[in-house]
Chain A
């Protein structure tokens, strides 16, 4: 009952006219940002965050805006996936497999509408999941001391290392570079200047926004230029825009299953929307048996990844809200948003700032309703945005990114650091270094160091304290398992198949 009353309070916060308007604008912008290839939730949230801050929005409104953009992106990614065969964001990669063939067969309308309903279901299932699990987890996490927190952050980072990309070494380099950048600035405990090289601008450290916009916006534009091949024309949306009952009947269980799986994958730190959608797609494909046309335009192939990526996007808010440890790049940026407002994310958030937390959760539900209502009838309007030529879009994004960086401190120094980091990010990305570990390392760096030092202060320097409580031992074991598990499984698989080939 207590949760219900909190939730009602949340709806009161999210339901004020201003916040509803912010939600609507965020959802609309998010759909467009998600739809445009190259711009995804991370860039969208990163660019809008400083602008929201500079507009002096109160923290709950700013967070609602970011959450609306985040969920809008997950909705928007599917439009370009279906119509031009290019995923608008990472979560929509799997949607291209069946979405584009459907559009080619003249079924663009049904593909778009069933995926909108799937996204909506995923979002609602995950919202219910957040309401059910987040307060429990927050309560449990209240018992965490600094040693447990340190172990938890190691777990979050190693989840990424285990799941992300091909190379553990590259993921580790990413994390360490992020941690290294986080070390720059005044040390909060002792007041010692670290790695500032007597530059006044570095004494507060490199601002979060500068790093994120440099890494994700500037380097993204450079990558866009690298893969620029003129424009692509979207498949026209003709015929019926709604799916029929037969298609719905085929996809309904797929949607529900994928939503639930997507949610739980999202809750795991490190495993984001792209993993959730890939997992559910192959799961559904296997479950369909012989009776399917996956890969040639099966509705289930569109519904599964879309339900999963929305559910996991919302699910990844759980570790952020309850533990203060982000589970994905985008939620890392949102943590940055909270710290910009001097709010420390973590288990106490539910007690100290119930208005913000429950307002955010309520706005997720409101936002999904707005998005599904907006996306089905207005899809033709959204498609118009796909026709914005790159020669306007790219300079526009560059300018808006600079506005975002400038809004923080208003110094040329930040702009230059951001651009240089962008060039560095471009090199890293061309060499296939994953970016998520980098940004997570950067966000967690300060918290990790603080918790480590606090833990060692308690034990007077004894390292044993890190491994003394059952919770922290469990977390360390989980961290090692996440790091080695996927690789061991792969190695075993290879060994089992090895002799059979010979």
Chain B
């Protein structure tokens, strides 16, 4: 069932892609095949495959039990929040904040989670930013402190 739903999603995607891609035309063209052909080819093949997914009988997908799925979803949201705040809060703080829930998901106690958060935030920052010269965001709050 879930594959059929995914197939329907892909079908919508390919129809949308063809719709958007139809108007792709180069103002001045030097070549017989413009920018439109390849995307249209890809989207139409994708549409055919999507129909295949919808119409053929397939084995049911085994999803994890719902409490596990809920935790995976929560973890995804945590990482998404991390991505959003990475630049604004700076590496040290955002990493520490992200690490605590992730450590809890993977069976760490609160104490361990706090430890992991603080340790990873500071040590990885020192390692990448200071030792390896990979520039990381400092964030507004720590800026006066770390330059």
A interface vs B, CB < 8 Å? 51, 54-56, 167, 169, 172-173, 176-177, 179-180, 183, 187, 189-192, 194-195, 218, 221-222, 224-226, 228, 230-231, 389-396, 398-400, 402-403, 406-407, 410-412, 415-416, 418-420, 422-423, 426-427, 430-432, 448-449, 452-453, 456-457, 460-461
Choose from A55, A176, A426 the contact partner of B76 (Cβ within 8 Å). Answer: A426
- A334-B87 Cα distance, complex, nearest whole Å: 28
- B residues 95-125 near A (Cβ < 8 Å) are 95, 98-99, 102-108, 112-113, 116-117, 119-121, 124
CB closest residue in chain A, given B115? A392
Contact of A222 among B45, B72, B107 (CB under 8 A): B72
List, in ascending order, chain A residues with CB within 8 A of B146's CB: none
Contact A51 B42, beta carbon cutoff 8 Å: no
Contacts of A430 in B (CB 8 A): 61-64
- In the complex, which of the residues B38, B82, B104, B135 contacts A54, with contact meaning CB atoms closer than 8 Å? B135
Question: Are B103's CB and A392's CB within 8 A?
Answer: yes
Q: Contact between A225 and B72 (Cβ–Cβ < 8 Å)?
A: yes
Contacts of A221 in B (CB 8 A): 75, 79
Contact: B116 with A461, CB < 8 Å? no
The digit string for B52-70, where 1 denotes a CB below 8 A from any CB of A, is 1100101001111000110
Q: B46, A173: Cβ atoms under 8 Å?
A: yes
- Some 9 contacts from A to B, beta carbons below 8 A apart, are A55-B134, A179-B42, A194-B24, A194-B39, A390-B106, A398-B98, A422-B76, A423-B80, A453-B31
- Interface Cβ pair total, 8 Å cutoff: 207
Given A173-B53, A390-B107, A395-B99, A226 and B72 contact (CB-CB distance below 8 Å) = yes
- Distance to closest chain A CB from B134 (angstroms): 4
- Not counting A189-B26, A195-B39, A391-B102, a sample of 8 additional A-B residue pairs whose C-beta atoms are within 8 angstroms of each other reads A180-B13, A224-B106, A389-B112, A392-B119, A394-B105, A395-B120, A452-B33, A461-B33
B residues in contact with A176, CB < 8 Å: 42, 45-46, 49
Say whether A457 contacts B103, CB under 8 Å.
Answer: no
In the bound complex, how far is the Cα of B35 from the Cα of A51, in angstroms?
Answer: 34
Q: Are A228 and B107 in contact (CB under 8 A)?
A: yes
Max count, chain B CB within 10 A of own CB: residue among A55, A190, A415, A416: A190
Q: Is B99 in contact with A192, judged by CB distance below 8 angstroms?
A: no
* Nearest A-chain residue to B56, judged by Cβ: A169
Query: Are A192 and B83 in contact (CB-based, < 8 A)?
Result: no
Determine the distance from Cα of A400 to Cα of B125 in the docked complex, in whole angstroms.
10
Which residues from chain B contact A398 at a C-beta distance below 8 Å?
A: 79, 82, 98-99, 102
Most A C-beta atoms less than 10 A away, residue of B21, B32, B61, B106: B106
Chain A residues positioned under 8 Å from B32 (CB to CB): 456-457, 460-461
Q: Shortest beta-carbon distance, B110 to chain A, in Å? A: 11
Q: Which residues of A contact B108 (CB under 8 A)?
A: 389, 391-392
Taken together as a complex, chains A and B put the C-alpha atoms of A400 and B2 apart, in Å, by 33
Q: Which of A169, A179, A406 contacts B86 (CB 8 A)?
A: A406
CA distance A404 to B92 in the complex (A): 15
Q: Is the interface of A mostly helix, strand, loop or mixed?
A: helix
Minimum CB–CB distance for B23 against chain A, Å: 10
Q: Are B134 and A422 in contact (CB under 8 A)?
A: no
With A and B bound together, what is the CA distance between A374 and B35 in angstroms? 52
As a 0/1 sequence over residues 125 to 143 of chain B, the CB contacts with chain A under 8 angstroms (1 = contact) are 0001000111111000000
Cα–Cα, bound, A407→B129 (Å): 11
Name B75's contact: one of A192, A222, A390 (CB within 8 Å): A222
> CA–CA, A411 to B113, complex, Å?
28
Could you tell me if B3 and A431 are in contact, using CB atoms closer than 8 angstroms? yes
Complex Cα distance, B102 from A326, in Å, reads 35
Q: A190-B35, A412-B86, A423-B76 are in contact. Are A395 and B116 (CB under 8 A)?
A: yes
Q: Top 9 nearest A-B pairs by Cβ distance?
A: A391-B108, A461-B32, A190-B26, A395-B99, A415-B83, A391-B103, A187-B35, A390-B106, A54-B134
A224 partner residues in chain B, CB cutoff 8 A: 106
Report whether B83 and A416 are in contact in the complex, using a CB–CB cutoff of 8 Å.
yes
A225, B24: Cβ atoms closer than 8 Å = no
| A1-B130 Cα distance, complex, nearest whole Å | 46
B86: chain A residues at CB < 8 Å are 402, 406, 412, 415
Cβ contact within 8 Å between B49 and A169 = yes
Residue of B nearest to A399 (CB): B95
Cα(A79)–Cα(B108), bound, Å: 25
Minimum distance in angstroms from B4 CB to a CB of chain A: 11
A432 touching B71 by the CB < 8 A rule? no
B146 to chain A, nearest CB (A): 16
Q: Does A192 contact B68, Cβ atoms closer than 8 Å?
A: no
Give chain A residues whose Cβ lies under 8 Å from the Cβ of B49. 169, 172-173, 176
Known: A187-B35, A392-B116, A461-B32. A412 touches B132 (CB 8 A): no
